Structure 1
Amino acid sequence: MGSSQEAGWCKKLTSPTNARANLKVIRKTVYTAVLLTITVVTGATGNNEVLVTVGNSSVLTCSPKTNITMVTWKINPKAGGSCTLGYRADLNKTDRTNCSDNMNWKFRPDRDPALEIRQVGRAHEGIYTCEVAAKEGNFGKTHHLTVQVPPRLTLYCAGHGSPVCEAVAGKPPAQISWVPQNNSTSREEGHVDGTVTVVSMFTASSTNMTYTTCIVSHPAGNQSKSIACGPSREVINVVDFLSVNKAEWKGRIIQKFMMHKDVNENFTWFTHCVISVASLLGLLFLFAVLHLYIFCHSRYVWDRIHTTPFAQSWRSLEGLLVNEKPGQAKLHSITPYAIASYH
């Protein structure tokens, strides 16, 4: 009797192994239910990540349903105020609040309530939520719009003769690589608008002329440039390159460039002055030659007049006119016709 009761009592007890197994089953069931709930909610809301390059157009889709009664686009950009686009089927009317002109319906909202953004800018980055009311129920979809900005590639030779490549104002930050592959040092500089400038300096393995190619990799597009840099007497440590800020680094390069530029400008100014003085002296010489020619020609004509027989007749006629008798009219002008009649 006692043994049977003891056996029955033992049957009621549960071993620790079975308890752990039951807990695992319960835990898996809860996890499955949570995942199904998340899937249903995500399917209803439709969260979506959208990447757009600045300057391009983008179309954000919404849940296309039949018998739509109302559609609302709620736009919350990271910078600036929110805006709303709406449509009511009972009034067959659309309205907009604080939305720019480059945001509009792609098609008829009662058929496809997609939103089109033309010429996407950095100010359009943000959250776009579409809410649809239909006979089947309420549906929604959310887009997280991220704007990509391609960097501007700049390649130049630093004062110590090493190539320096800059991927200026890119979003996300660009990746810089070199051909040929060699040691390089890079640093990043963030900006207020969210863009990042990446600067990389190529370390040449020889003191000869270095011909390198900088390759900038970015989701918005890849770029490349080549340059040949020669050695220089000035040597700048790599640590100084990394520690100095961008403004100071560019200030050094611009200062050296301006020094060479001043020399070129002075030489150009001196050349212009020499040309101007030579031109002035040339004009004065031509003016003197012209005056000399006029003087010589006038003297030649005067000598011809006073040494020819015609000149002697001229003086005889002039003497008669001077010794004219009283009462005779004076001849105030002597013309060639008068000389001919005198002969």
Structure 2
Amino acid sequence: MKAGTEMKIAGKTVCVFVMLTIIKVMRTVGNEKVSVTVGNSSVLTCSPKSNITMVTWKISPKVGGPCTLSYRADQNKTNRTNCSDSVDWKFRPDRDPSLEIRQVEIAHEGNYTCEVVATEGNFHKMYQLTVLVPPRLTLYCDDNGIPVCKAAVGKPAAQILWVLEGISTPKEEGHDNGTVTVLSNFTAYSTNTTNTTCIVSHPAGNQSSSIACRPPKNSFFRDVLIILGFLSIITFMAVVYYFKLHRDRLCHKPKPPETAPTHSPQDDTMEVEPYTTYVQKENIIYNSVSDLTVGQNLPQGLSPAT
């Protein structure tokens, strides 16, 4: 029992010693952010140690597959896997394991890790490579005489500033390769401004340009035509409204009130006279009939008096 307990203690001691040794041997130099302008060259250093046994560069770009460069001192041999010709050792890896990237492109952006195995221990260092693309500055006047500043295909997006005080309206347009185009229109507060300066701020470097914009020659006539057209529309609408209003009034004009017909006394006399004549005739006829009837009803030997 005692021997078994001692073996367990010895095993734990060895494990702790091994762990401490690994922690001491495995050293991480650290992570470092590196920015490089597109088209330039970049050198990523790795801790140069004496008695190097093996060096390995592991590259993980944002676009495309991983790349590996390795060197073994015991075989004095280098090996590369899926790496382009622009990525290679700067010098002999047994003397300086630095990595060189020639003619940096956007596709080279990513993580680069160097691992070194030497008699002093194992070391590794990682770089985060960012590729900068300086924008192309263009300053011009649009059709209305307004200055326009354009920072085309920059990475990251540029910032456009104007020297004079005014109103600017920047717009961004992203592209598939990660670049951004920024467009800014500028209107100065002062109408006496003749010269305008645009400043493009970018990590790859600042740029500036100046221009004098003036309204086009035909702007006055164009403004006059616009005003006349607007007035014509208002006049036409007013005339239409006027005729419509008066037409509605004519259609709904009230009728005059009906008045009772007037009769003159002469008309009453003319209406009464025919009635009087008619009555007289009726009386004559009635008297004649009455006389005839009386005569017929008299006794014999009597005759109606004449």
**Normalising TM by the smaller chain, what interval?**
0.5 to 0.7
Aligned-partner Cα distance in 2 for 1:122–1:45 = 26
Aligned-partner Cα distance in 2 for 1:156–1:209 = 16
Instruction: State the 1:135 CA deviation.
Output: 1.2
Instruction: State the 1:206 CA deviation.
Output: 4.5
1:177 aligns with 2:198: no
Instruction: State the 1:159 CA deviation.
Output: 2.0
Q: Give the corresponding residue for 1:194.
A: 178
Aligned length: 196
Which runs of structure 2 are paired with 1:221-300 in the superposition (5 Å)?
Answer: 221-232=205-216, 233=219
1:89 aligns with 2:78: no
Q: Give the corresponding residue for 2:53.
A: 69
The CA RMSD measured in Å over matched residues stands at 2.1
Deviation track 1:229-275 (CA, whole Å, cap 9, x = no partner) reads 1124379xxxxxxxxxxxxxxxxxxxxxxxxxxxxxxxxxxxxxxxx
Report 1 or 2 for greater relative contact order, CA contacts < 8 Å, sequence distance ≥ 6: 2
Aligned-partner Cα distance in 1 for 2:101–2:168 = 41
1:105 aligns with 2:89: yes
Aligned-partner Cα distance in 2 for 1:104–1:157 = 47
Which runs of structure 2 are paired with 1:116-131 in the superposition (5 Å)?
Answer: 116-131=100-115
Instruction: State the 1:182 CA deviation.
Output: 2.6
**Cα gap change, 1:203/1:193 in structure 2, threshold over 3 Å: closer, same or farther?**
same
TM normalised by structure 1 equals 0.54
Q: Give ranges in structure 1 of 5+ residues lacking alignment.
A: 1-39, 236-343
Query: Percent of counterpart pairs with the same letter?
Result: 71
Instruction: State the 1:209 CA deviation.
Output: 6.5
Q: Give ranges in structure 2 of 5+ residues lacking alignment.
A: 1-23, 224-306
Instruction: State the 1:205 CA deviation.
Output: 3.0
Deviation track 1:75-95 (CA, whole Å, cap 9, x = no partner) reads 111111111111000011111
**Cα gap change, 1:175/1:117 in structure 2, threshold over 3 Å: closer, same or farther?**
same
Aligned-partner Cα distance in 1 for 2:33–2:26 = 13
Contact kept in structure 2, 1:212 and 1:228, CA below 8 Å: yes
Aligned-partner Cα distance in 1 for 2:131–2:107 = 9
1:56 aligns with 2:40: yes
Aligned-partner Cα distance in 1 for 2:25–2:109 = 24
Aligned-partner Cα distance in 2 for 1:197–1:86 = 40
Aligned-partner Cα distance in 2 for 1:207–1:151 = 30
Instruction: State the 1:210 CA deviation.
Output: 2.9
TM normalised by structure 2 equals 0.60
* Matched position secondary structure for 1:154: strand
Aligned-partner Cα distance in 2 for 1:155–1:196 = 17
Contact kept in structure 1, 2:152 and 2:180, CA below 8 Å: yes
Instruction: State the 1:204 CA deviation.
Output: 2.6
Contact kept in structure 2, 1:182 and 1:204, CA below 8 Å: yes
Q: Give the corresponding residue for 1:332.
A: none
Q: Give the corresponding residue for 1:164.
A: 148
Contact kept in structure 2, 1:57 and 1:117, CA below 8 Å: yes
Instruction: State the 1:179 CA deviation.
Output: 2.4
Aligned-partner Cα distance in 2 for 1:96–1:145 = 20
Instruction: State the 1:180 CA deviation.
Output: 2.5
Instruction: State the 1:226 CA deviation.
Output: 1.5
Structure exhibiting the larger radius of gyration computed from Cα positions = 2
Aligned-partner Cα distance in 2 for 1:215–1:207 = 21
Contact kept in structure 1, 2:163 and 2:198, CA below 8 Å: yes
Deviation track 1:114-171 (CA, whole Å, cap 9, x = no partner) reads 1011110101001111111111221101111000000011111122211010111111
